[in-house]
């Protein structure tokens, strides 16, 4: 898979539980897209298949409107059904090499990693890009252990050739440090979706990312 297809720097991961209703959630994602987000991962693990499929169709329509890529967390079937751009799998999901046998070249494959070893395995298995973290302490990533820090991020970047996105506790004042460590971009959840002005916050992150560009593909 051509690395040129991973041409975004800000990777937004959804969490509808931040909001009280579906309309507020949809509006929040649209605000981020208006702010310039070009890649969204739909990650709503508690929904049943029909509920997730319905939401995925809405996300596909919305991301197409703003010329953004859509990735579906874990659910290869739903990603294929709605014509998503890719699928994102965790360490407990189907390995990337098995996903590739199913999707061939139809979908990009992202993999969540939390160590150098997992990053190396993801690349060997054929992942198109990875997220690595948590870089900093964050409530949403406590189950993955202590923050790995930018030193691990730097080692990962020197060891693999696919794009790497830092994730976990990345605030505006940490963007430069993450990008200086070699990241190709960052993945965010609450830093954008829990902000009071989602569009402006998105624009602020993108401005910093463009000022502190990592390796370009």
Q: How far apart are CA 22 and CA 27, in angstroms?
A: 9
> Residue 140 pLDDT > 90, yes or no?
no
Mean pLDDT of the chain: 94
5 or 141: which carries more pLDDT confidence? 5
> Residue 44 pLDDT > 50, yes or no?
yes
**What's the pTM?**
0.94
Over range 175-198, report the average pLDDT: 97
Q: Is the dihedral of CA 164, 31, 141, 109 positive or negative?
A: negative
In the chain, pLDDT over 90 holds for what percent of residues?
A: 87
| Residues forming the active site | 43, 112, 141
23 or 189: which carries more pLDDT confidence? 189
Over range 198-210, report the average pLDDT: 98
Domains in the chain: ranges and CATH: 3-211 (3.20.20.70)
For residue 69, what is the enclosing H or E element? strand 69-73
């Amino acid at each position: 898979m051509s690395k040129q297809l991973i041409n975004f720097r800000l990777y937004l991961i959804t969490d509808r539980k931040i909001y009280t209703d579906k309309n507020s959630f949809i509006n929040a994602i649209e605000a981020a897209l208006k702010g310039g987000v070009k890649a969204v991962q739909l990650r709503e693990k508690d929904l049943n298949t029909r509920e997730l499929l319905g939401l995925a169709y809405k996300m596909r329509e919305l991301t197409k409107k703003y010329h953004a890529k859509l990735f579906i967390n874990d659910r290869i079937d739903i990603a294929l059904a709605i014509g998503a751009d890719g699928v994102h799998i965790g360490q407990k999901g189907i390995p990337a090499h098995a996903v590739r046998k199913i999707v061939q070249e139809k979908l990009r494959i992202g993999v969540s990693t939390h160590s150098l070893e997992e990053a190396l395995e993801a690349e060997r298995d054929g992942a198109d890009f990875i997220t690595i973290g948590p870089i900093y302490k964050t409530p949403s990533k406590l189950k993955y252990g202590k923050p790995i820090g930018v030193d691990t991020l730097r080692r990962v970047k020197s060891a693999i050739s696919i794009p790497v996105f830092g994730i976990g506790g990345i605030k505006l004042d940490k963007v430069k440090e993450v990008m200086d460590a070699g990241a190709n971009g960052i993945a965010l959840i609450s830093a954008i979706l829990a902000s009071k002005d989602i569009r402006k916050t998105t624009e602020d992150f993108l401005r910093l990312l463009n000022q502190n560009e990592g390796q370009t593909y």
